[in-house]
Amino acid sequence: MNFSELLKLSGLLGRFSPDGRCLASCMQYRLAVRDASSLQVLHLYTCLDQIQYIEWSSDSLFILCAMYKRGIVQVWSLEQPGWHCKIDEGSAGLVASCWSPDGRHILNTTEFHLRITVWSLCTKSVLYIKYPKACQQGIAFTKDGRYMAVAERRDCKDFISIFVCSDWQLLRHFDTETQDLCGIEWAPNGCVLAVWDTCLEYKILLYSLDGRLLSTYQAYEWSLGIKSVAWSPSSQFLAIGSYDEKVRILNHVTWKKITEFEHPATVVNTKTIVYKEVEKSPSVETERLSFPPTRALASSLFSTQSKYAISEVPLSLHYVKPAADRPNPKVGIGMLAFSPDNCFLATKNDNIPNAVWIWDIQKLKLSVVLEQLCAIQCFQWDPRQPRLAVCTGNSNVYLWSPAGCVSVQVPVEGDFPIVSLSWHSSGDAMVLLSKDNLCVCYLEREEAVYPNSSV
Amino acid sequence: MGDWKTITVPVLSSDSKNIFEYTSDKSISSLSMNSQVLRLSLPSAKNMHGFFSAFCTEENIEQSVSYLDRELTTLGFPSIYAESKGKELNLVSVINCMNELLVLQHKNLRAQEEVEMQHLKLGSDMDHLQNCYAKLKEQLELSKREIVGLQERDRQLQNKNRNLHQLLKNEKDEVQKLQNIISSRATQYNHDMKRKEREYNKLKERLHQLVMNKKDKKIAMEVLNYVGRADGKRGAWRTDKTEARNEEEMYKVLLSDYEQRQKQLLVENAELKKVLQQMKKEIISLLPPQKQKLKERSEDGPVLSDLEEDIGELNKENMWELSCETVREQLTNSIRKQWRMLKNHVEKLDNQVSRVHSGALNEEDVISREDHEMETEKLELEIQQCKEMIKTQQQLLQQQLMCPCDDDTTVLLQDCYLLEERERLQEEWRLFREQRKNFEKERRSFTEAAIRLGLERKAFEEDRGAWLKQQFLSISTDYKHSENVTTPSAFLGSSDQDNRLPKSTSQQRKPHCMLGGPVSAEPYQISQYIARNSSSAALRKPAGDSKPNQWVESDKETE
């Protein structure tokens, strides 16, 4: 496992290109595109203002940089460094910007969700989509990039519009039986659209591509409802995480619940493996201490190493009692993700912030619990294999695979609190992001993850 | 006797006290006696009942007799006077009267005894019943108190229950109220939300107009040059055609998805069918004997077997390729049936195994639990029956005892006692007989011993006789001329020798015997007598001749 030098970064904006060749990173108003392996700067673009959002086009030929404060989107081409494009939303303002799947259109959402403007890089044509809904996840593209679903709100009712992305023709437009639609998500096969209601009501609706309602699922009433939703890559399962600290899994044939994963604060099943992160201070031999100490030694002296230990079950996890009088309570399943091979589901219960649950989908049982010392900031599955990377806001990166679990300290000088990470498309590298820095971690393909050992 | 008095007193109440006392005395001691006897017996009676002054004296004999007559006639006895002879006593009738009176008294005494007995019995019964009554009363009190206590508790519980019900109702009401509040608030909230959203929409609309209609020059895209599409195609115009094409494509996507799913399902189905077929085959191969039996057993066997045959045929014709609908029912039926058979079979095997297991555990000499339980149940039933029988018997007995002693039961009871007694006697008899037998045995052994003794003695005497004869013969040869006086002395006791002796003597004294042939018995007797005398004399005479002395000594030696 190799780590790059720390690179300066702002706004957590560091992305690998979809083809995996480049790494884009922003530093204030500058955009640097580097070679993913050598990290040599290939291009350096300068934007008009501090960049707040970047996104690679699907063909990795363009990068859009959004400056929401100024309502400007700038697009850069990798093929033609001299080519430039600037989209100004003017007084309408800008709150979100994204590429269309074909990589030739940019969808800008204006302030107050007045409209979505679809700008084309190929033609002069501009398309407006009116009444977009201001919600958690209002735009969803199918994985094949053919269709786009947009949540709309008209006359106090929720609607879904399905567009054909090739020519932005409206294919379907239908109202949904929701109180206050909160999010939409296509199944990976692009044929089923999951629509879930606001957290005040547990309700998830499944629509076919042609707008037919396939099924409705409601686990309970009155209490706070759905918090997160994830499709399995095979479109077979739909995992729904909710405020009652449970994940419910629906099947794709009858759309009925297969099972329910609870997240209690005590792990009781003895078949569950609990990896607990423990800290240990490195022992220093006093004879080898020199004055003044070398920088490396000093840093190693004041940093503590962490490693995983297998805990005895039953085990009580660190539980945070949510404040009942606050809105958006920190309770329930806030994050969940299927592994690319459909075999595992990783979840996080927000009121047990230090633990990641990994469920075996084949057995429909809890397989592993990772208990960290700090709160989980982010986790992501390796796109190629069942390998989970976790960061907890410190300078360690944690990897879990069915073979075992490792904790790796990023060997950098100074503080490097990793708050986000994202995998390279090949699964051979990942970019670790802190508030001010970026580090690329290269994993050799041969180097398997050592089970239960710290490196 | 006191009773007799009390009975007679009211009858005699009209007479003087003196007389009454006499009568009582009389009636007791000498009612049926005639005057003479009376006179004789009176003193004794007087002695016995000294405290009574005499009823009849020499002076008032007449009056007493007439009084007695009168009394007797009033009591329905015949007059004691002879009818014909006026004032003369009829002794016969007096005696008869007396006898009857005695009999009457006896009867009365017996009756009195019985009545007393009954009285006692009744008294004890009464006591018992009173005891029972007291006990029951106590029980009644106790249960009454208990009932009161229970009622109190019941009342309290009911109160509690009522309270709880009230609470529950209140809670329910509360819940209902809260739900109502929630729903009302929700509707209010929704309403407000809608109102606000409408306002917001109006504002948005207004803003939109303001922002978009201003011909904002700034809203624009500056692009160096338009780039080509990723797929290299040019953007097409939006027409109905494209719309139709889009529709078509969408349906194509959907269709392909469904096709894919169908394919998956088909594959899955085929696999499942394969498994099913295999299972079926295996089951069939496992189950031929059971099936036969079942077929025989089941009433609708022919129908099912027909069905099975059909299915078998279908099997051959590769029915798996057919759609399920046509054969589904048959298939499921047959599989269900086979499964049931298999289940039965497995259960049977399980049972066997368990039986074998248990047998192995108990090493076969212990009865299996089921048998054991069955047996115990049977035994328990029997015990219960026996108990019931005993109870009924007891009841019957008690009834018999309780019912006021009718004669039969007393007789029966007495019989019972007699029987018991007899049994005891028989036992004693048996013992006695045994003892007697023992005694007899002893006696027999004694007699046998005596006989043996007698025999021995006889043998001994024979010996002695022989010896004496020899002695005698030797003596006779020595003292040829001496008198016969000594010779018979050898003949002591034994008759055989006596009988034989004459022969020998006759042989030796032929000339003597031939003379006295007809009176042979006399000299023999005489000789015997002499012999006895002489022997006794010889015995008494210790020192006579040397020979007798010798003989005596030898005799002593043999004895």
pLDDT digits (tens, 9 = 90+) for B67-81: 888 888 888 877 777
Pick B253's closest partner by Cβ from A85, A92, A191.
Answer: A191
Whether the pLDDT of residue B113 is over 90: the answer is: yes
Whether the pLDDT of residue B283 is over 90: the answer is: no
- Among A361-375, B182-196, B392-406, whose mean pLDDT is lowest? B392-406
- Among A90-104, A130-144, A278-292, A338-352, whose mean pLDDT is lowest? A278-292
Provide, as residue numbers in chain B, all residues whose Cβ is less than 8 Å from the Cβ of A90.
Answer: 211, 216-220
B518 is written with which tokens?
């007809």
State whether residue B240 sits within 8 Å of chain A by CB.
no
Nearest CA in chain A to B193: A156
pLDDT value at residue A160: 93
3-state secondary structure of B223: strand
CA distances from B460 to A72, A82, B453 (A): 171, 175, 10
pLDDT digits (tens, 9 = 90+) for B500-531: 444 444 444 444 444 444 444 444 444 444 44
Asked if B314 and B328 count as a contact pair (C-beta separation under 8 A), the reply is no
Whether the pLDDT of residue B244 is over 50: the answer is: yes
pLDDT > 90 in chain B, percent: 23
pLDDT value at residue A282: 61
pLDDT digits (tens, 9 = 90+) for A381-410: 999 989 999 999 888 899 999 988 888 888
- What is the distance between the alpha carbons of residues A204 and A178, in angstroms, rounded to a whole number? 9
pLDDT value at residue A390: 93
3-state secondary structure of A45: strand
- What is the distance between the alpha carbons of residues B81 and A14, in angstroms, rounded to a whole number? 166
- What is the distance between the alpha carbons of residues B500 and A288, in angstroms, rounded to a whole number? 158
Whether the pLDDT of residue A125 is over 70: the answer is: yes
Instruction: Give the count of Cβ contacts less than 8 A between chain A and B.
Output: 116
Provide, as residue numbers in chain A, all residues whose Cβ is less than 8 Å from the Cβ of B194.
Answer: 156
Q: Choose from B183, B223, B269 for mutation: most chain A CBs within 10 A.
A: B223
Nearest to B475 by CA among B370, B415, B551: B551
pLDDT value at residue B522: 46
Give the amino acid at B89: L
Looking up tokens 């593209």 gives A141
Cβ atoms within 10 Å of B289's Cβ, excluding its own: 9
- What is the distance between the alpha carbons of residues A335 and A343, in angstroms, rounded to a whole number? 17
Q: What is the mean pLDDT of residues A77-89?
A: 88
**DSSP state for residue A155 in the 8-state scheme:** T
Q: Choose from A114, A141, A178 for mutation: most chain B CBs within 10 A.
A: A114
pLDDT digits (tens, 9 = 90+) for A16-30: 999 989 999 999 899
Is the ipTM higher than 0.85? The answer is no
Q: What is the mean pLDDT of residues A31-41?
A: 91
Dihedral sign, CA of B551, B553, B558, B559?
positive
Whether the pLDDT of residue A454 is over 50: the answer is: no
Provide, as residue numbers in chain B, all residues whose Cβ is less than 8 Å from the Cβ of A83.
Answer: 224-225, 227
Whether the pLDDT of residue A34 is over 50: the answer is: yes
Whether the pLDDT of residue B4 is over 70: the answer is: no
Whether the pLDDT of residue A294 is over 70: the answer is: no
pLDDT value at residue B128: 95
pLDDT value at residue A130: 87
pLDDT value at residue A106: 92
Residues 61-100, chain A, touching B (beta carbon < 8 A): 77, 82-92
State whether residue B197 sits within 8 Å of chain A by CB.
yes
- Among A129-138, A211-220, A253-262, B540-549, whose mean pLDDT is lowest? B540-549
Q: Phi, psi at residue B303, to the nearest 5°?
A: -60, -50
- What is the distance between the alpha carbons of residues B123 and B110, in angstroms, rounded to a whole number? 19
pLDDT value at residue A288: 57
CA distances from B355 to A251, B346, B365, B366 (A): 46, 14, 13, 12
Looking up tokens 């069918």 gives B273
pLDDT digits (tens, 9 = 90+) for B419-470: 888 899 999 999 999 999 999 999 999 999 999 999 999 999 999 999 988 8
pLDDT value at residue B85: 61
Beta bridge partners of A7: A438
pLDDT digits (tens, 9 = 90+) for B6-15: 434 343 334 4
pLDDT value at residue B319: 54
pLDDT band per the 50, 70, 90 thresholds, residue A66:
very high
Beta bridge partners of A195: A184, A205
- What is the distance between the alpha carbons of residues A163 and A217, in angstroms, rounded to a whole number? 26
Residues 98-137, chain A, touching B (beta carbon < 8 A): 102-104, 110, 112-115, 119-126
Q: Which residue has the higher pLDDT, A414 or A83?
A: A83
pLDDT digits (tens, 9 = 90+) for B138-171: 999 999 999 999 999 999 999 999 999 999 999 9
Whether the pLDDT of residue B533 is over 80: the answer is: no
Q: Which residue has the higher pLDDT, A178 or B311?
A: A178
Average pLDDT of chain B to the nearest whole number: 72
Nearest to A246 by CA among A227, A222, A231: A227
